[in-house]
Amino acid sequence: MIEIHLLRLPVQIWKRAQEHSDELLREFTLLTEGMRHEAPNTAPPPLRLIDLVEELTNTYAGFSGEQEAQLFAASADGTDAIDLRYTIPAQVGDAATRLGDALDEADEYCRAGQHLLTLATPPDLVQFRRWFLDEFTAQAAGRPPTPWPDYAERSAPT
């Protein structure tokens, strides 16, 4: 087990990212239900999209209940930023990388607009997602935490 620290996580950006993820997961649920009932006159989605839906909903749903509760409470209280601590298996780095790749791929399906109606993740939320997941990968590899403001400044679009 290792500890991962997310420092100065921006609560309102997290809230928007959570809302977007919830929207995508709802659409994945509808897509899965549609496949079960085999709607007539509907072209089946690509097999890779089906695999992606299964991976995102089965493998990564419910990442951490305690931290999520802290985030929801901070959002309700109007808190700007919080620090979080996760105690998780050391393999988290590989899982965070795979999750990031899967979400990038889901965004491509969203941009294509053929099988998903959800809009692709906005650039500021992609930046946040990359920081969030990169922190797990970097810290699992032994690097120190990077607070959100430092990352955001360094990775801001020019």
Q: Is the pTM of this model over 0.85?
A: no
Region of 78 (left: φ > 0; alpha: ψ -120 to 50; beta: rest) is left
The average pLDDT across 101-130 equals 80
pLDDT tens digit string along 27-58?
776 766 655 556 555 545 555 555 655 655 55
CA gap 14, 12 in Å, rounded: 5
Which has more confidence, 73 or 22? Answer: 73
The 8-class DSSP code of residue 21 comes to: H
Closest CA to 29 of 53, 3, 2, 62: 53
pLDDT tens digit string along 118-149?
777 888 888 999 999 999 999 999 999 999 99
Closest CA to 33 of 57, 63, 62: 57
